């Protein structure tokens, strides 16, 4: 074997890729190579939780994509951050630990087999987890992924929970327990006041294994196919093109934007799209890049009269200085916060089977993903619709492998989606009007008191709604004509090629997507090992 040949090559060291790399390399006789386009994750902003504000627009560790103009959002191009470093998006995300609703997975299992049911995946979620609350029927202890309670929540995060209860939403102390509905505090992927990304969790566990090679600043530009078999990848490193060969498999873990993009660049995808860009067709697969789904998010903001929030104000400077020292010496204080400390899941109708809306409460003003500074003290309540019916796609801007892909989410292209988001805005307003906010709410700044009718709220949504960062579905799992991978995540019609990341979700789960992606990476590796004859890793409940 030359040093450029491995049993498994994993493209993308993000949430899924790190989990897959750790699982595969646990088998001593497997050689594994993990390729990551971004740098090592050594920025202090990654590890200090509130540093996320500095990462959101940082092209060093973030792809900083922009969508095409969105027809239903006044032609706006939306900013789409995605992690570009070891840990991927789990190194720049808001650390909320959520699995989604059990029934979302049971829906996947109908088409794809019981290994995707919630009861099967729950075992994997638990095996990954090291929950500060200890092990239970819903939680794991001793796994590589540290899951913690928020150390010192802002008092306004408590006010939000109280207000939610006052408007009739039940309290929930564990969104990943028996019931998802309710308001409460999120648990976070942190350990002792530091971010616990997928790289920390899984590459940390695999550190020092001689059979795992990690290349950073290495961008895969093409999957190399020979007679409908993936035999390696072409990589761009420091301006040089290099070929890495895979004896067993190439596993794409580049995320919902980049994995379909790489398939398209490799000639796997819709015939017309490839021919338009002069890419020779290797294998026609019409679903590549299609079925894009995301959580569109709307905010209601109020001024904070109590000045307990994280503010952009001279009077905040003493708290900021104390906070800095507290973080440096004890890893506590507001710099250890993921900002989105409390939130919830809300049913719009008593008869709803699962919550339709998710809430993220932030004790600060937040505009344009935090890229636009807002003076003063304030609170932001995010509301997103959990199961949108609108579908978009990922395509090509050009055949240049280093060009950004084309992103067209088609938000609100299905009329039902706007209705639920309008209800969400009304709910957020009721929460801010509840007694718990009486001495806090100093008046709504967004959408603004003048925005009252449903038509006005919709117009405001069109001008202000943004992604809450959960694109999925662009290499969907299934057996129909638009499916890209089968129930074992193997690309239809191609040997030795799997996709394992957010892109394989056939439908968007009701919640944040980091923990589910780690489980998808794990499942892919277990499936690959089962095919290699390693027994006992893949058990359906
Ligand atoms: C700002 C933000 C906040 C979020 N907040 C939360 C949250 O609080 N909780 C939560 O659960 N989820 C959150 N999410 C979503 C969640 O983090 C992602 O859904 C999840 O991390 C996606 O995992 P993935 O494995 O599919 O892709 P990623 O984790 O994005 O990993 C893909 C990796 O592949 C690399 N890559 C891509 N193309 C190539 C290539 N050609 N060659 C080599 N490497 C490549 C990328 O650089 C990246 O490192 C957030 C996301 C963002 C961006």
Delimit the domains of the chain by residue range. 1-64+80-98+187-292+471-541, 151-185+296-385+413-464
Query: Residue 523 has what pLDDT?
Result: 97
pLDDT in tens, 260-273: 999 999 999 999 99
Query: Residue 536 has what pLDDT?
Result: 76
pLDDT at residue 70 above 60? yes
Q: Is 321 exposed, middle or buried (0-12, 13-18, 19+ CB in 10 A)?
A: exposed
Q: Is 502 in the pocket of ligand 1 (CB under 6 A)?
A: yes
- Which residues on neighbouring strands pair with residue 114, listed in sequence order? none
The Å distance, Cα 304 to ligand 1 centre, comes to 33
For ligand 1, atom 47, the nearest C-alpha belongs to 84
Q: Which atom of ligand 1 is nearest to the CA of 518?
A: 25
From the list 164, 142, 121, the residue with the least C-alpha distance to 346 is: 164
Helix (H) or strand (E) run with residue 32 in it: strand 32-35
pLDDT in tens, 326-338: 999 999 999 999 9
The Å distance, Cα 201 to ligand 1 centre, comes to 15
- Domain 151-185+296-385+413-464 class in CATH: alpha beta
Query: Residue 534 has what pLDDT?
Result: 87
Cis before 447 (ω within 30) = yes
Report yes or no on whether pTM surpasses 0.95.
yes
Task: Name the residue of 9, 56, 88 whose CB sits within 8 Å of the most ligand 1 atoms, as the mutation to test its pocket.
Answer: 88
Q: How far is CA 314 from CA 162, 281, 323, 441, in A?
A: 29, 60, 15, 20
The Å distance, Cα 459 to ligand 1 centre, comes to 31
Q: Is 220 in the pocket of ligand 1 (CB under 6 A)?
A: yes
Q: How far is CA 109 from CA 118, 278, 483, 508, in A?
A: 8, 38, 15, 14
Q: Mean pLDDT throughout 206-229?
A: 97
Annotation marks residue 139 as catalytic: no
pLDDT in tens, 287-313: 999 999 999 999 999 999 999 999 999
Q: Is 175 exposed, middle or buried (0-12, 13-18, 19+ CB in 10 A)?
A: buried
The Å distance, Cα 437 to ligand 1 centre, comes to 35
pLDDT at residue 504 above 60? yes
Q: Is 88 in the pocket of ligand 1 (CB under 6 A)?
A: yes
The Å distance, Cα 62 to ligand 1 centre, comes to 9
User: φ, ψ for residue 525 (rounded to 5)?
Assistant: -65, -40
From the list 537, 498, 511, the residue with the least C-alpha distance to 96 is: 511
Q: Is 126 in the pocket of ligand 1 (CB under 6 A)?
A: no
Query: Residue 3 has what pLDDT?
Result: 55
The architecture CATH gives domain 1-64+80-98+187-292+471-541: 3-Layer(bba) Sandwich (3.50)
Q: Is 475 in the pocket of ligand 1 (CB under 6 A)?
A: no
Query: Residue 131 has what pLDDT?
Result: 98
Q: Is 90 in the pocket of ligand 1 (CB under 6 A)?
A: yes
CB 475 within 8 A of CB 86: no
Beta-carbon contacts of residue 409 (< 8 Å; ≥ 6 apart) = 67, 70, 78, 292, 294, 296, 390, 392, 467, 471
Q: Mean pLDDT throughout 224-233?
A: 97
CB 316 within 8 A of CB 310: yes
Beta-carbon contacts of residue 351 (< 8 Å; ≥ 6 apart) = none
From the list 391, 410, 405, 388, the residue with the least C-alpha distance to 71 is: 410
pLDDT at residue 1 above 50? no
% of the chain with per-residue pLDDT over 90: 97
Which residue in this structure is represented by tokens 């440096």?
328
Q: Mean pLDDT throughout 12-40?
A: 98
pLDDT at residue 196 above 90? yes
Query: Residue 537 has what pLDDT?
Result: 79
Q: How far is CA 496 from CA 270, 488, 490, in A?
A: 20, 12, 8
pLDDT in tens, 472-481: 999 999 999 9
């Amino acid at each position: 074997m030359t040093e450029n040949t491995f049993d498994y090559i994993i493209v993308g060291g993000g949430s899924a890729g790190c989990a897959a790399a750790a699982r595969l390399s646990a088998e001593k006789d497997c050689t594994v190579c993990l390729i990551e386009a971004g740098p090592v994750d050594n920025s202090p902003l990654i590890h200090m939780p509130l540093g996320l504000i500095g990462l959101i627009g940082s092209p060093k560790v973030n792809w900083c994509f922009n969508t095409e103009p969105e027809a239903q959002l006044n032609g706006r191009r939306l900013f789409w951050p995605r992690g570009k470093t070891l840990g991927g998006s789990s190194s720049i995300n808001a650390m909320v630990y959520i699995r989604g609703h059990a029934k979302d997975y049971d829906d996947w299992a109908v088409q794809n087999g019981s290994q995707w049911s919630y009861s099967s995946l729950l075992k994997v979620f638990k095996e990954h987890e090291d929950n500060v609350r200890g092990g239970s029927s819903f939680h794991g202890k001793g796994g590589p992924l540290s899951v913690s309670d928020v150390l010192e929540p802002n008092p306004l995060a408590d006010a939000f929970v109280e207000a939610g209860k006052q408007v009739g939403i039940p309290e929930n102390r564990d969104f990943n327990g028996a019931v998802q509905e309710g308001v409460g505090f999120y648990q976070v992927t942190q350990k002792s006041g530091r971010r616990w990304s997928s790289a920390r969790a899984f590459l940390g566990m695999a550190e020092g294994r001689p059979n795992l090679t990690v290349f950073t600043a290495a961008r895969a530009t093409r999957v190399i196919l020979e007679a409908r078999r993936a035999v390696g990848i072409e990589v761009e490193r420091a301006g040089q093109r290099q070929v890495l060969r895979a004896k067993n498999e190439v596993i794409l873990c580049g995320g919902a934007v980049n994995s379909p993009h790489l398939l398209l660049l490799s000639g796997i995808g819709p015939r017309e799209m490839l021919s338009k860009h002069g890419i020779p067709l290797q294998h026609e697969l019409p679903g590549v890049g299609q079925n894009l789904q995301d959580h569109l998010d709307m905010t209601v903001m109020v001024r904070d009269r109590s000045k307990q929030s994280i503010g952009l104000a001279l009077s905040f400077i003493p708290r900021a200085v104390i906070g800095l020292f507290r973080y440096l010496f004890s890893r506590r204080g507001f710099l250890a916060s993921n900002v989105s400390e409390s939130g919830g899941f809300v049913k719009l109708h008593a008869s709803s089977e699962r919550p339709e809306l998710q809430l993220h409460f932030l004790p600060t003003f937040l505009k344009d993903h935090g890229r636009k500074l807002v003076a003063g003290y304030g609170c932001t309540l995010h509301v997103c619709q959990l199961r949108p019916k609108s579908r978009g796609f990922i395509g090509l801007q050009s055949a240049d492998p280093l060009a950004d892909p084309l992103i067209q989410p088609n938000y609100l292209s299905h009329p039902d989606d706007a209705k639920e988001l309008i209800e969400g805005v009304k709910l957020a307003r009721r929460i801010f009007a509840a007694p718990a906010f009486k001495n806090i709410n100093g008046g709504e700044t967004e959408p603004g008191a003048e925005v009252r009718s449903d038509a006005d709220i919709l117009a405001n949504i069109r001008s202000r709604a943004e992604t809450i960062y959960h694109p999925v579905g662009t290499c969907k799992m299934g057996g129909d004509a638009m499916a890209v991978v089968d129930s074992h995540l193997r690309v239809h019609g191609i040997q030795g090629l799997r996709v394992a990341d957010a892109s394989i979700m056939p439908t968007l789960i009701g919640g944040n997507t980091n923990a589910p992606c780690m489980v998808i990476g794990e499942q892919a590796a277990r499936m690959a090992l089962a095919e290699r004859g390693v027994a006992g890793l893949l058990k359906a409940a």
